[in-house]
Amino acid sequence: MARLLVVDDEKSLCEMLEIAFRKDGHAVETVTSGKLALKKLESQVYDIVITDIRMPDLSGIELLEQAEPARYPGMFVLITAVPTMKTAIQALNLGAHRYVVKTDKLVEELRLVVARALEELALREENLRLRRELLRVFAQNNIVGQSRKIEAILEMVRTVAPAPSTVLITGESGTGKELVARAIHEASPRREKAFVSINCGAFPETLLESELFGYFKGAFTGADANKKGIIEAANGGTLFLDEIGETSLTMQVKLLRVLQERKVRPLGGTVDVPIDVRLIASTNRDLKSMVMQGQFREDFYYRVSVIPIHVPPLRERKEDIEPLARHFLRKFALQMGKPLRDFEAKALAALAQYPWPGNVRELENAIERAVAVSGDQEGLIRLAHLPESVTGTTPVEERAIQIPAEGVDFEGQIACLEKQYLEEALRAAGGVRTRAAELLHISYRSFRHYAKKYGI
């Protein structure tokens, strides 16, 4: 059942639509003016608003414009007896779901429109639910941040998790590649099965082969009993091959066969074992460059990099340092039973200035050390509690902005930059303003305000 608001200055039409939609099981309210509808929207939330465009006090277009964003309904459907192309475009640009012309089949058409709108709302709600679940999974796996880059990774995980496709996660050591792999697994249909990981660079080739494929008793010296390999152990779940760039060309051939045939043969065996695993691999190396140098097989590269995800280093997403530091502070303060609640300003400044060559792993270690050595005074992590490598380093970075001796026109420069962003967003969106606003992560009303300001 959905909550509907019908707005039309024709009382008979309101009554007709109310009867029709109540028969469909919806809760329906009606008003006969735009101003009354606006008051309703200020105090209540509706799934769908069906409003006439031409009304004496406040038009449907004006109602759509003035509706408070915080109380904005799920969908707006505009109806009119006098259709014009200009009005239709204006309504859709303002975010209306549909524009319907009044005919003798208006009720039937609106029923279809409402049914489709409710399907879209349900899908939107499911996406929000999945996003909230992913945020929980990210937090559990120490993937914390507020940067656009982390947001992009979150969206990519949400998108690719349901699919069985192979994923290649790239990034420097310590950025959290395995954490992203675990998040993909936990957000996937395979979450109830095993997540099995192995660091390909931690074993010599012969030992790596026996670990991956398993072996039968007597397959080699020291094989005193049968052992299942981790590929088979991951059956039904996810296999994570960390630092896959460290594998030899021979091992790459064997792994390629597994991916192509979905079968594995233990050492000393004669029968292939069918397997159903999703492969996620990671590397801190440039595999494309390795392919060109003959150090990594091209066919294997294309097999493992079906869906690439890059995890940027912490120095490229500095806005994530503070939320990560607070997350680790809460974690270790709880583990160590210390009443620590925050950082002093100097400590936060030092954390923000440090380049973190060891990325998130180094930050986590630094906060763990700070919590361990701190006292309980005032519940703060102070500058003195941080490692010397952090407090004693002030990186000298190339400045992207240079201010000449005579100064600059600050407001003029900002205005120029804003206009360039608006024009570029419009170009990228093919002239569709609602899409351009989405690309800039601002509301359509804000976009319209800036566009008017700069004559765009």
**Which three-class secondary structure state does DSSP give residue 7?**
strand
Count of domains forming the chain: 4
What's the alpha-carbon Rg for the chain, to the nearest Å?
29
Chain mean position to CA 353: 26
Q: What is the pTM (predicted TM-score) of this model? A: 0.59
Single-letter code of the amino acid located at 59: S
Query: Within a domain: residue 130?
Result: no
Phi, psi at 12, each rounded to 5°:
-65, -40
- Give one word for 52, left, alpha or beta, with left for phi > 0 and alpha for psi -120 to 50: beta
- On whether both 243 and 320 belong to a single domain, the answer is no
165 is a domain residue:
yes
Residue 163 within a domain: yes
Which among 339, 340, 336, 331 is positioned nearest to 372, based on CA atoms? 336
Is 201 within the bounds of a domain? Answer: yes
CATH number at residue 387: 1.10.8.60
Residue 400 lies in a domain: no
Residue 129 lies in a domain: no
CA atoms within 13 A on the CB side of 335: 11
335 and 265 inside one domain: no
Distance CA 37, CA 30 (A): 8
Alpha carbon distance 35, 349 (integer Å) = 51
312, 344, 368 - which closes a domain: 312
pLDDT, residue 396, reads 39
- The CA–CA distances, whole Å, from 320 to 140, 143, 332, 374 equal 16, 10, 18, 23
Please indicate, yes or no, if residue 396 is contained in any of the structural domains: no
User: Do residues 96 and 173 both lie within one domain?
Assistant: no
Residue 35 sits in the same domain as residue 57? yes
* Interatomic CA distance for residues 427 and 445, integer angstroms: 19
Is 43 part of any domain? yes
Residues 176/327, Cβ–Cβ less than 8 Å? no
Same domain, 331 and 355: yes
Instruction: Give pLDDT tens digits along the chain (456 positions).
Output: 789 999 998 899 999 999 999 998 999 999 998 889 888 888 888 889 999 988 888 888 888 888 755 455 578 999 988 878 877 787 777 778 888 888 888 988 999 999 988 888 887 777 677 666 666 666 555 577 888 898 899 889 888 999 999 999 999 988 989 989 998 998 899 989 999 999 998 888 888 988 999 888 877 777 778 888 899 999 999 999 999 999 999 999 999 999 999 999 988 888 889 999 999 999 999 999 999 999 999 999 999 999 999 999 999 999 999 989 998 998 888 888 888 889 999 999 999 999 999 999 899 999 999 999 887 667 899 999 999 889 874 443 434 466 666 677 787 778 888 888 888 888 877 787 887 887 888 877 788 888 888 888
Domain boundary pick from 257, 286, 312: 312
Residue 361: Cβ-neighbour burial (10 angstroms; 0-12, 13-18, 19+): middle
* Residue 450 CB neighbour total at 10 angstroms: 18
Domain identity same for 295 and 339: no
Q: Backbone phi, then psi, for 29, in 5-degree steps? A: -120, 150
- Same domain? For 223 and 272 the reply is yes
The pLDDT assigned to 399 comes to: 42
Do 429 and 378 share a structural domain?
no
Query: Is the CA virtual torsion 445, 448, 452, 454 positive or negative?
Result: positive
Would you say 75 and 416 are in contact if contact means Cβ atoms under 8 Å apart?
A: no
How far is Cα 250 from Cα 10, in angstroms, rounded to an integer?
Answer: 78
What CATH code is carried by the domain that includes residue 218? 3.40.50.300
331 and 268, same domain (yes or no): no
Give the other-Cβ count within 10 Å of 107's Cβ.
14
Pairing of strands 273-274, 263-264: antiparallel
**DSSP assignment string, 340-359:** --EE-HHHHHHHHHS--TTH
Q: How far is CA 302 from the centre of its chain?
A: 25
Give the pairing type, strands 214-215 and 227-228.
antiparallel
Distance of CA 22 to the CA centre of its chain: 38
In angstroms, the CA 440 to CA 456 distance is: 15
Report CA-CA distances (Å) from 395 to 91, 311, 324, 351, 353. Answer: 52, 22, 20, 12, 7
The reply to whether 60 and 115 lie within a common domain is yes
The domain containing residue 170 runs over which residues? Answer: 141-312
- Cβ distance 371 to 329 under 8 Å? yes
In a shared domain, residues 354 and 284: no
Q: Which of 312, 332, 356 is the last residue of a domain?
A: 312
Residues 10 and 21 in one domain: yes
Determine the 3-state secondary structure of 248 from DSSP. coil
- Separation of CA 57 from chain center: 43
How far apart are the C-alpha atoms of 244 and 208, rounded to whole Å? 12
Burial class (CB in 10 A: 0-12, 13-18, 19+), 235: middle
